[in-house]
């Protein structure tokens, strides 16, 4: 995949197709990003497993930002602004890949990206590919998530980012689906490989017929589109049972594991139904 991606990048450069300016662009090396040198604050990652309940194994790990010493994500985002958003986005990618490699993960790795930080996707992806090569993590195991909660005023630009990443062979995912601005319109306009249902739709779903009906509807849509569905925020066996009965196979939430600071926890066999 790395060779294929490099060919695509080289071809675009040769044709002069990449002419838009990337706001606050400065070429960042993997070591610089991994050490947080491009920013005036440092942070790290916690990993939370996404579990395949049919195969009874961990399918992926999502990389979630944390401050040094396990400070919450909110502390990190307080330091992010328009001036350092691009550097922060790049540093997140490198730190996630470095940690996954250090832990010898053999699963997919979900990395969140900020659509508002990416203006020229062909520039932004270079540091990701270099990090995958440097740290020895297979690029084909990277899944890029973007959240529906972030307002994106330029829908065409978001589509171009997602389409470009998919063209290179990366999987893409809509995070927090159902909690943001565009809902089904975003899914219609921006085809992705994975939809992650927001935890607000999952909470107490075992007691709520309306949420169950919404789940069935979204599940049918995803099945017709060939899109994988992940349920986020699962906390109880009762919630898991409803999701399992409705055919949802990929589960993320405290029921299986909280995010592990700079680590990847084990999923107990006793938690499967």
CB 136 within 8 A of CB 101: yes
Position 114 scores a pLDDT of 87
Please, which contacts does 193-196 make with residues 24 or more away whose CB atoms are closer than 8 Å? 193/143, 193/166, 193/227, 193/228, 194/143, 194/145, 194/227, 194/228, 194/229, 194/230, 195/222, 195/227, 195/228, 195/229, 195/230, 196/145, 196/230, 196/231, 196/232, 196/252
- Tell me if residue 72 falls in helix, strand or coil: coil
State both tokens at 204.
């107490």
Give pLDDT tens digits along the chain (273 positions). Answer: 656 665 665 555 545 444 344 455 455 555 555 555 579 999 999 999 999 999 999 999 999 999 999 999 999 999 999 999 999 999 999 999 999 999 999 999 999 998 888 878 888 899 999 999 999 999 999 999 997 555 666 778 889 999 999 999 999 999 999 886 657 888 898 899 999 999 999 999 999 999 999 999 999 999 999 999 999 999 999 999 999 999 999 999 999 999 999 999 889 999 999
**Pairwise CA distance, residues 61 & 142, whole Å:** 10
pTM of the model: 0.89
pLDDT tens per residue across span 18-48? 434 445 545 555 555 555 557 999 999 999 9
Residue 172, classed as helix, strand or coil, is strand
**Topology given in CATH for the domain delimited by 2-28+47-64+107-260:** TIM Barrel (3.20.20)
Q: Residue 61: enclosing H or E segment and its boundaries? A: strand 57-67
Angle between the 209-225 and 237-245 helix axes, to the nearest 10 degrees?
50
Domain ranges of the chain: 2-28+47-64+107-260
Q: Is the dihedral of CA 57, 63, 68, 73 positive or negative?
A: negative
pLDDT of residue 16: 46
């Amino acid at each position: 995949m790395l060779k294929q991606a490099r060919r695509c990048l080289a071809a675009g450069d040769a044709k002069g197709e990449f002419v838009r300016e990337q706001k606050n662009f400065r070429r960042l090396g993997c070591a610089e990003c991994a050490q947080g040198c491009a920013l005036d604050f440092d942070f790290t990652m916690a990993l939370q497993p996404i579990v395949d309940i049919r195969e009874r194994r961990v399918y992926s790990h999502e990389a979630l930002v944390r401050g040094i010493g396990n400070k919450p994500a909110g502390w990190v985002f307080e330091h992010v602004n328009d001036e350092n958003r691009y550097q922060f986005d790049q540093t997140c990618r490198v730190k996630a890949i470095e940690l996954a490699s250090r832990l010898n993960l053999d699963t997919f790795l979900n990395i969140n990206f900020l659509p508002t930080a990416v203006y020229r996707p062909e520039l932004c992806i270079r540091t990701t590919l270099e990090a995958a090569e440097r740290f020895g993590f297979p690029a084909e195991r990277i899944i890029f998530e973007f959240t529906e909660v972030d307002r994106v005023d330029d829908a065409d630009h978001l589509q171009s980012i997602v389409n470009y990443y998919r063209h290179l062979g990366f999987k893409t995912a809509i995070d927090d689906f159902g909690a943001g601005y565009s809902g089904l319109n975003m899914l219609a306009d921006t085809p992705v490989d994975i939809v992650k249902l927001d935890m607000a739709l999952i909470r107490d779903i075992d007691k709520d017929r309306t949420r169950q009906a919404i789940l069935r509807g979204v599940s049918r849509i995803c099945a017709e589109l060939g899109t994988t569905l992940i349920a986020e925020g699962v906390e109880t066996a009762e919630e898991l049972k409803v999701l399992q009965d409705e055919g949802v196979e990929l589960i993320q939430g405290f029921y299986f594991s909280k995010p592990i600071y700079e680590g990847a926890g084990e999923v107990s066999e006793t938690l499967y139904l």
